[in-house]
Amino acid sequence: MPDSPHPLMYRPLLEAALREDLGGLGDLTTDGVVEPAAVARAELVARSSGRIAGLGIALDVFTLVDPAVHRQLRLGDGADVRSGDVLATVAGPARAILTGERTSLNLLGHLSGIATATRRLVESIDGTGAVIADTRKTTPGMRALEKYAVRIGGGKNHRYGLADAVLIKDNHLAVAGGIRVAVERVRRHIGHTIKVEVEVDDLDQLAEALEVGVEAVLLDNMTPDEIRRAVEIVDGRVIVEASGGITLESAAAVAAAGVDVLSVGWITHSAPALDVALDMSA
């Protein structure tokens, strides 16, 4: 399984989420109902089937509220679970567990939902040789964690940000005046280690991109038949990526058309959260 992001990459996010939930007055309900010395034990439980991602990160929420909370993982990231499976236990100060509950579950459900959606897409194209990749359509501030969840689901990461690689899209081409001028300009701007990819809408643009010399082409919103023809024209010279409107139902046909990569935005921005709960006992 992929390594979890370093805590320095996500601790500020957890702290900000807790500050948002606590507001200016703290947890009025818990502080008013629960005695300061009360202790409790709780289980994190799956309420639906899916793939777990971000479990250890979600448990960090409780220890941020109070380092005295003890945590124990029953499963690891990448585990495929069914409804009723116990994922982890936490024990210690009851106030801390109750205060951190929602923030922890929100994070775990969201990341596990991404991993689950990615896994299903990966399974749908099994045997084609293509891979599923994410995009930059991520929740602001959560990109590292969401892209980690994609990897846990068996997918690959596209560029993390604008400084990773060149991806010349339709709006760049509209401003620059065409593929050739855009590629020539960007080649003068970047170093020799940076790859250049161009988004193309039709076979004429594809031919121009191949002529000017790029490392990858992105076929935008093409049908499987159009993609198959594009792949034939490329003939292995560059990486071929397909994007735009790819669903769980259409992914297999797109992959079978011969592309190397299917990039899918909804796995990070619209994947349904996995239903997880915290069952508490005194």
Query: Which are the catalytic amino acids?
Result: 102, 137, 169, 199, 220
CB distance 246 to 124 below 8 Å: no
Q: How far is CA 138 from CA 41, 141, 188, 212, 259, in A?
A: 34, 8, 30, 31, 24
Q: How far is CA 33 from CA 16, 69, 134, 181, in A?
A: 25, 19, 44, 67
DSSP 156: B
d(CA 84, CA 75): 13
d(CA 77, CA 82): 14
Question: CA torsion angle for 209, 215, 219, 224 (degrees, to 10)?
Answer: 110
CB distance 274 to 80 below 8 Å: no
